[in-house]
């Protein structure tokens, strides 16, 4: 459910150390941090927008652009790397036609990477929204994103 | 008959179903739901209890189901197996004999009991004792194991000074990576003037390839909370924070539940257990920055700033959160406190080696037959962990290296497999204990590529504050990129070494001070692989794309067209039933054709040498 920024702020005391938790809540609600919402946050916490922006861009969790319906996060941790994550990335990029950091033009998929999902025993793995998909092979990736191909064909 | 196990009163049988991240992703929620249903349908609900637990540690084999009191162990359980499991739990039921039993990675034989599995029976699970045995969302389970007794003991039978003394005599060293003696921080915080002090649990777990802190938080959150409360009493703090990375939603949820339940029971909050000690704990979600695992950056982050480290001294114990004395320790360090208080310093000091007491907990991953979380006494050898517990490399391939300490650590070769696992021995070998990642690699991993991977990680995660780290790691990355692309020169090796030493000396925080380690240790132990890349332009693991090519063997190609269809850049030509050919100029070396060519033909080969050399 989308709340307004004012609704979100009502849960906080409004001091500077609320900055990261507030940004997290805003992103949770809107999916990303828009310029307007960052200005609202600055006003609420009485700090310059530049500082809000500086903090938001420092942390990988924060996104300044909207993401796709399915948010794919590829693990680039060590365990996944040695078990073939680069190959999985190639495969996903091929399959979805987007590269790391992009969102597909139909707004269905976004592809990002994350330092480690913490499911290293299942390496290589990815997160799709909150679900971990582990023990991936190029073949499994193909299966996971089959629908995408079918849809594209329908459009053609 | 009622059986007591670890103090928990059980019905005749208890089914423990792992609900850790690994098993959940393998489908353990569905297993739980369907087992509960089956048991009810069979009318066994009174005799068989189905319990959701935290991580059993053997994540790779999930979903896991353990049946107590017998200690039966079912691995890779599928929904189809559930009716058989349910029937086996009836009074007349017999343990299953084949599927879904665990099969030994070496012999292939099925093993029925938990305690006969070498992955488990060679471990010493102390801190992890509750993980997998209790429901982490039920404080009652934790209390039944004797939980929070040590808190009572600490608050009513010990003075803060006595607690610090006990921690000192135990010899506990911080398990966040550096192995700094824990008592020194406790004493410094205790002696620091003022009554506004903080206790922080570092659960940022930045090391990519480690997940033991996550497993503890998901499997036994109360043991960590209790360690923090006792620390708060000992140093005179009233507020604690758990700094958890936001990528761990399940750990955060279980911590929230645990804090809430502990507060209701009076273990957290005002006048704990009616004493005059008050202590509260809050969760802070880290927003994804490796450097925030560093203690001063972590503090900046809680204060709402960019997570930039600052020079020490002053140490956090002197001037930490909002300038107040602050104790920062790792998840595992706090989880050890209850044992020290409960069983005493002497008991604890009886485990481990002269200089390193207690147990070490690792996430054993990579090219290893049994991957998962392992807990071992300090001082056992790498070989015992990798071969004894981990079952060696799958497929009997030769071992190449083991990486510990993540981006701050190093890669050790086969000659050093008998190195004892403790802070000092690993450091002497050029690696480090780190917070618990242990990644094993075999001959299919290119060591230069692995070193490049870590340096790439460091460049992305460097906060940019100090020049040696910001610029130096990028320089190293450029050189390593040249080497893996076949453009390296021999003098690059010397430059890497001197640059690495410079970055170590000149950087502000631990990130830069350790970032060159993966390169320096691999140069020390695997120098010939660097030289091969540079002189022969050869990657022996056939990983570096610029140093390999794919070719279709005319005598084996049947012209089946499979490869031409999968090639994403249309680099393969040939009519049906005609021998196909790869255009080396167009080929992007993705390897799809190599994987897709049916094994009965095996017509595509991956060879040394770039396409240019092939011409
Ligand atoms: C770049 C960097 C990352 C770190 N990451 C972690 C971490 O993820 N978890 C952790 O407990 N300590 C980490 N540390 C170590 C902390 O600075 C600190 O020493 C530790 O939390 C102290 O806890 P201990 O005494 O229990 O070891 C990191 C240090 C550096 C320099
Ligand atoms: S390395 Fe990929 S989940 Fe940890």
| pLDDT over 50 at B334, yes or no | yes
How confident is the model at residue B320, as a pLDDT? 96
How confident is the model at residue A154, as a pLDDT? 53
Ligand in closest contact with the CA of B329: 1
Phi, psi angles (nearest 5°) of residue B55: -70, 130
CATH topology of domain B139-349: Rossmann fold (3.40.50)
Nearest CA in chain A to B287: A61
- Map tokens 């130096």 to a residue: B472
How confident is the model at residue A94, as a pLDDT? 87
Q: Report residues whose beta carbon is within 6 angstroms of any ligand 1 atom.
A: B 174-178, 180, 182, 202, 204-206, 290-291, 293-295, 328-330, 333, 435, 509-511
Which pLDDT tens digit goes with each residue over B577-615? 889 999 999 998 988 899 889 999 999 999 998 764 444
The β-bridge relationship of strands B198-203 and B110-111 is unpaired
Q: How far is the CA of B173 from the centre of ligand 1 (A)?
A: 12
CB B152 within 8 A of CB B231: no
CB B105 within 8 A of CB B370: yes
Cβ-based neighbours of A45, under 8 Å, separated by 6 or more: A14, A15, A16, A18, A19, A22, A52
Sign, Cα dihedral of B476, B482, B483, B485 = positive
Q: Which residues of B touch A21 (CB under 8 A)?
A: 284-285
Nearest CA in chain A to B373: A121
Q: Choose one of B55, B60, B206, B209 to mutate for the ligand 2 pocket test, by most ligand atoms within 8 angstroms of C-beta.
A: B209
How confident is the model at residue B113, as a pLDDT? 92
CB A21 within 8 A of CB B285: yes
CATH class, B2-117 region: alpha beta
Q: Which residue would you say has higher pLDDT here, B42 or B97?
A: B42
Closest ligand 2 atom to B363 CA: 4
CATH placement of domain B447-536:
1.20.1440.230
How confident is the model at residue B105, as a pLDDT? 84
For the segment B47-73, the average pLDDT, to the nearest whole number, is 91
Give which of A120, A133, A134 to mutate to test B binding, by max B Cβ within 10 Å. A120
How confident is the model at residue A152, as a pLDDT? 58
Q: Which residues of A touch B303 (CB under 8 A)?
A: 16-17
List C-alpha distances in Å: B154 to A104, B335, B340, B395, B581.
57, 15, 11, 51, 75
User: From CA B327, how far away is CA B322, in angstroms rounded?
Assistant: 13
Phi, psi angles (nearest 5°) of residue A131: -90, 130
Share of chain B above pLDDT 70, in %: 97
- Map tokens 């050790």 to a residue: B412
Q: What is the ipTM of this complex?
A: 0.91
Closest ligand 2 atom to A117 CA: 3
Ligand in closest contact with the CA of A73: 2
Q: Report residues whose beta carbon is within 6 angstroms of any ligand 2 atom.
A: A 75, 77-80, 116-120, 123, 125; B 208-209
Q: Which residue would you say has higher pLDDT here, B566 or B119?
A: B119
Work out the pLDDT band at B175, boundaries 50, 70, 90. Answer: very high
A107 to chain B, minimum CA–CA distance in Å? 23
Average pLDDT along chain B: 93
How confident is the model at residue A151, as a pLDDT? 56
How confident is the model at residue B6, as a pLDDT? 45
H-type alpha helices, B145-294: 149-157, 160-170, 182-191, 212-219, 221-235, 249-264
| pLDDT over 90 at B458, yes or no | yes
Q: Which residues of B touch A55 (CB under 8 A)?
A: 304-306
**Which stretches does DSSP call E strand in B198-259?**
198-203, 239-245
Which pLDDT tens digit goes with each residue over B143-152? 999 889 999 9
A7 to chain B, minimum CA–CA distance in Å? 21
- Map tokens 């100029």 to a residue: B585
Measuring CA to CA, which residue among B162, B433, B176 is closest to residue B328? B176
Work out the pLDDT band at A1, boundaries 50, 70, 90. Answer: low
Task: Delimit the domains of chain A by residue range.
Answer: 5-58, 70-155
Work out the pLDDT band at B22, boundaries 50, 70, 90. Answer: confident
Measuring CA to CA, which residue among B208, B203, B231 is closest to residue B218? B203
- Of the candidate CATH numbers 3.30.70.20, 3.30.365.10, 3.40.1640.10, 3.90.1150.10, the domain formed by B545-613 belongs to 3.30.70.20
CB B125 within 8 A of CB B395: no
Q: Which residues of A touch B367 (CB under 8 A)?
A: 82-83
Q: Which residue would you say has higher pLDDT here, B611 or B198?
A: B198
Closest ligand 2 atom to A78 CA: 1
**CATH 3.10.20.600 corresponds to the domain B359-442:** yes
How confident is the model at residue B7, as a pLDDT? 43
User: From CA B15, how far away is CA B18, in angstroms rounded?
Assistant: 10
How confident is the model at residue B530, as a pLDDT? 97
How confident is the model at residue B92, as a pLDDT? 83
How confident is the model at residue B10, as a pLDDT? 43
CB B285 within 8 A of CB B294: no
How confident is the model at residue B605, as a pLDDT? 93
How confident is the model at residue B575, as a pLDDT? 86
CB–CB contact B366 A59 (8 Å): no
CATH topology of domain A70-155: Glutaredoxin (3.40.30)
Question: In this structure, what is the dihedral angle of CA atoms B391, B394, B395, B401, given to the nearest 10 degrees?
Answer: -100
Work out the pLDDT band at B90, boundaries 50, 70, 90. Answer: confident
CB–CB contact A115 B206 (8 Å): yes
Question: Full-prediction pTM beyond 0.90?
Answer: yes
Chain A residues bordering chain B (beta-carbon distance below 8 Å):
16-21, 23-24, 54-55, 58-62, 75-83, 87, 90, 94, 114-123, 125, 130-134, 138
Cβ-based neighbours of B336, under 8 Å, separated by 6 or more: B127, B172, B175, B227, B348, B358
Closest ligand 1 atom to B332 CA: 26
Work out the pLDDT band at A147, boundaries 50, 70, 90. Answer: low
The β-bridge relationship of strands A70-75 and A109-114 is parallel
Q: Choose one of B167, B174, B175, B177 to mutate for the ligand 1 pocket test, by most ligand atoms within 8 angstroms of C-beta.
A: B177
Q: How far is the CA of B433 from the centre of ligand 1 (A)?
A: 12
B98 to chain A, minimum CA–CA distance in Å? 23
Q: Which residues of B touch A77 (CB under 8 A)?
A: 208-209
Q: Which residue would you say has higher pLDDT here, A145 or B235?
A: B235
For the segment B525-541, the average pLDDT, to the nearest whole number, is 96
How confident is the model at residue B11, as a pLDDT? 53
Work out the pLDDT band at B4, boundaries 50, 70, 90. Answer: very low
Q: Which residues of B touch A18 (CB under 8 A)?
A: 304
């Amino acid at each position: 459910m989308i709340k307004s920024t004012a609704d979100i702020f009502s849960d906080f005391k409004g001091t500077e150390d609320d900055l990261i938790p507030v940004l997290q809540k805003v992103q949770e609600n809107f999916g990303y941090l828009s310029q307007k919402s960052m200005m609202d946050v600055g006003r609420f916490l009485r700090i310059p927008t530049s500082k809000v922006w500086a903090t938001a861009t420092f942390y990988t969790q924060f996104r300044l652009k909207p993401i796709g319906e399915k948010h794919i996060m590829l693990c680039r941790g060590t365990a996944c790397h040695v078990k073939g994550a680069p190959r999985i990335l190639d495969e996903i990029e091929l399959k979805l036609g987007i590269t790391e950091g992009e969102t597909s033009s139909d707004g269905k998929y976004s592809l990002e990477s994350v330092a480690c999902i913490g499911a290293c025993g299942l390496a290589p793995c990815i997160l799709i929204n909150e679900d971990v998909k582990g023990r991936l092979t190029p073949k499994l990736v193909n299966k996971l994103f089959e629908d995408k191909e079918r849809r594209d064909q329908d459009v053609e | 008959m009622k059986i007591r196990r670890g103090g928990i009163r059980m019905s005749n049988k208890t089914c423990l179903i792992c609900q850790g991240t690994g098993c959940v992703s393998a489908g353990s929620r569905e297993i739980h739901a369907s087992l509960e249903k089956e048991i009810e349908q069979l009318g066994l609900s009174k005799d068989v209890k189905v319990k959701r637990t935290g991580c059993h540690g053997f994540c790779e084999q999930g979903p896991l189901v353990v049946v107590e009191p017998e200690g039966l162990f079912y691995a890779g359980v599928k929904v189809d197996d559930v009716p058989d499991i349910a029937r086996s739990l009836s009074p007349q039921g017999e343990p299953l004999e084949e599927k879904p039993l665990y099969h030994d990675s070496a012999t292939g034989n099925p093993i029925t009991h938990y305690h006969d599995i070498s992955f488990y029976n060679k471990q010493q699970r102390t801190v992890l004792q509750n993980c997998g045995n209790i429901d982490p969302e039920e404080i009652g389970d934790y209390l039944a194991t004797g939980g929070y007794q040590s808190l009572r003991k600490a608050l009513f039978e010990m003075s803060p000074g006595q607690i610090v003394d006990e921690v000192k005599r135990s010899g506990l060293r911080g398990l966040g990576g550096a192995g700094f003696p824990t008592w020194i921080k406790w004493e410094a915080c205790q002696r620091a003037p003022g009554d506004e002090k903080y206790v922080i649990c570092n659960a940022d777990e930045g090391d990519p390839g480690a997940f033991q802190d996550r497993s503890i938080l998901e499997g036994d959150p109360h043991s960590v909370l209790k360690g923090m409360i006792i620390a708060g009493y000992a140093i005179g703090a009233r507020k604690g924070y758990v700094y958890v990375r936001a990528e761990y939603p399940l750990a955060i949820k279980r911590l929230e539940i645990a804090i809430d339940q502990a507060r209701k029971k009076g273990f957290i909050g005002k006048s704990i257990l009616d004493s005059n000690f008050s202590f509260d704990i809050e969760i802070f979600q880290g927003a994804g920055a490796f450097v925030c695992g560093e203690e001063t950056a972590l503090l900046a982050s809680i204060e709402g700033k960019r997570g930039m480290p600052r020079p020490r001294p002053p140490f956090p114990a002197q001037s930490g959160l909002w300038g107040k004395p602050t104790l920062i320790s790792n998840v595992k360090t706090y989880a050890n406190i209850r044992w020290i208080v409960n069983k005493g310093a002497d008991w604890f000091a009886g485990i481990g080696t002269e200089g390193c007491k207690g147990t070490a907990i690792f996430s054993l991953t990579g090219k290893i037959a049994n991957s998962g979380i392992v807990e071992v006494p300090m001082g056992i050898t790498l070989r015992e962990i990798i071969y004894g517990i981990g079952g060696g490399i799958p497929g009997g391939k030769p071992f190449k290296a083991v990486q510990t300490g993540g981006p701050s650590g190093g890669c050790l070769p086969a000659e050093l497999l008998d190195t004892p696992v403790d802070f000092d021995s690993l450091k002497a070998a050029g690696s480090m204990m780190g917070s618990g990642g242990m990644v094993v690699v075999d001959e299919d991993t290119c060591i230069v590529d692995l070193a490049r991977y870590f340096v790439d990680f460091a460049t992305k995660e460097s906060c940019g504050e100090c020049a040696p780290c910001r610029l130096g790691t990028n320089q190293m990355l450029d050189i390593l990129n040249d080497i893996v692309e076949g453009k390296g020169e021999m003098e690059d090796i010397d430059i890497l070494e001197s640059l690495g030493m410079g970055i170590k000396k000149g950087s502000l925080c631990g990130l830069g001070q350790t970032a060159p380690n993966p390169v320096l240790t691999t140069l020390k132990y695997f120098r010939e692989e660097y030289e091969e890349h540079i002189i022969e332009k050869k990657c022996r693991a056939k990983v570096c794309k610029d140093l390999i090519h794919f070719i279709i063997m005319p005598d084996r190609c049947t012209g089946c067209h499979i490869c031409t269809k999968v090639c994403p850049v249309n680099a393969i030509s040939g009519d049906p039933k005609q021998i196909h050919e790869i255009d080396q100029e167009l080929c992007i070396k993705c390897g799809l054709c190599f994987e897709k060519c049916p094994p009965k033909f095996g017509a595509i080969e991956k060879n040394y040498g770039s396409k240019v050399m092939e011409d």
